[in-house]
Structure formats: C-alpha cells, structure tokens
C-alpha cells in the first residue's frame, strides 16, 4: 500500500477500508512466511495484521470508544503499541491483543526456554499462538483458507 492513507477524522469509512485491506495483505504475508518456515518474521507480520485490523475495528466503534479514550482519532490513526491491550479489551479482543503483543516480542527475541526474553520456549509454542491468532483474523477478514491450512495445519489450535 503505497497510496496516501485517509485520515480517520476526515473520511472514517475510507480509512477503515484501507486498514482492512492492509490487514489482509499483512495476514497473507504472515501465512506465506510461516509456510516457508520463517516463524519470527511471520510473527511480526501477524502483529502488523492485528494492529491494522484493530485500528479498523476501533474506527467502526469510534462513538462507543470516544468516552473511554482521550484523542480517539489519534489512537485510531496510529494504534500505538501501548494502546493495544486497552483498545483490544474494550472491543472484546483482550486475548487477541495479548497474543499479538507476545508474538511481537517473539519476533525480536525468538524462543527462550528460560522465559526471560520471550514467553515462548520454542518455535512450536510460538507457532501455536501464531496459528490461533491467524485463525481469528482469517475468520474476521475472510482469508484464503487453503493458505491458512498450509501454514498452520500441523499445529493444534484450540479455539477461544
């Protein structure tokens, strides 16, 4: 997406559509990277997909969120990482928000059996959370189910 993004305070509907397209593209890249074995890179792309989806979801429910969040337009526009837990919880996606943040940490730190640098002791543990969150986003964004199955078919994913 190299086009200028609509400002949510000027054209909220266009902004929401752009963020949803961005989320779909990031999700597709994340699943492709996972299929190719690049779990850390896939985790980063999935985090970006969730962040874009969360911005769109917050835009859709802006009126409901406005009393709870100061500068709601800026939060929707930028969706700062620090706001993800609170906005996710307000939208009923608390677990999704925390898993996205854990995967973001995993992208940078990788697996850590001691649990100091990452909550994931192994690639497989991260992959299970990746696939759980990817399934949630695939459901919301109507993703390519065959691509999801190829990326996540070997990981047991429990529904929320």
Q: What is the pLDDT of residues 12-24, one digit of tens each?
A: 999 999 999 999 9
Q: What is the pLDDT of residues 57-104, one digit of tens each?
A: 999 999 999 999 999 999 999 999 999 999 999 999 999 999 999 999
- Count of domains in the chain? 1
Q: State the Cα–Cα distance between residues 20 and 142, nearest whole angstrom.
A: 11
Is residue 81 included in any domain, yes or no?
Answer: yes
Torsion angle in degrees (nearest 10) through CA of 149, 129, 17, 54? 170
Q: State the Cα–Cα distance between residues 69 and 74, nearest whole angstrom.
A: 10
154 — pLDDT class (breaks 50, 70, 90): confident
Q: State the Cα–Cα distance between residues 120 and 50, nearest whole angstrom.
A: 19
Q: State the Cα–Cα distance between residues 61 and 56, nearest whole angstrom.
A: 9
Is residue 6 included in any domain, yes or no?
Answer: no
How many beta carbons lie within 10 A of that of residue 79, not counting itself?
A: 22
Is residue 3 included in any domain, yes or no?
Answer: no
Is residue 159 included in any domain, yes or no?
Answer: no
Q: State the Cα–Cα distance between residues 1 and 110, nearest whole angstrom.
A: 28
151 — pLDDT class (breaks 50, 70, 90): very high
Is residue 4 included in any domain, yes or no?
Answer: no
CA end-to-end span of the chain, whole Å?
Answer: 31
Is residue 33 included in any domain, yes or no?
Answer: yes
């Amino acid at each position: 997406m190299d086009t200028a993004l609509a400002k949510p305070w000027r054209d909220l509907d266009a902004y929401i559509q752009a963020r949803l397209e961005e989320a779909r593209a990031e999700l597709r890249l994340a699943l492709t990277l996972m299929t190719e074995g690049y779990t850390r890179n896939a985790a980063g792309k999935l985090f970006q997909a969730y962040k874009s989806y969360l911005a769109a979801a917050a835009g859709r429910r802006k009126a409901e969120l406005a009393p709870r969040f100061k500068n709601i337009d800026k939060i929707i526009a930028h969706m700062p990482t620090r706001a993800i837990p609170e906005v996710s919880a307000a939208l009923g996606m608390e677990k999704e928000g925390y898993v996205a943040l854990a995967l973001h940490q995993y992208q940078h730190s990788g697996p850590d059996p001691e649990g100091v640098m990452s909550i994931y002791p192994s690639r497989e543990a991260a992959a299970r959370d990746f696939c759980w969150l990817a399934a949630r986003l695939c459901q919301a964004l109507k993703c390519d189910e065959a691509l999801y199955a190829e990326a996540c078919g070997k990981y047991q994913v429990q529904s929320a």
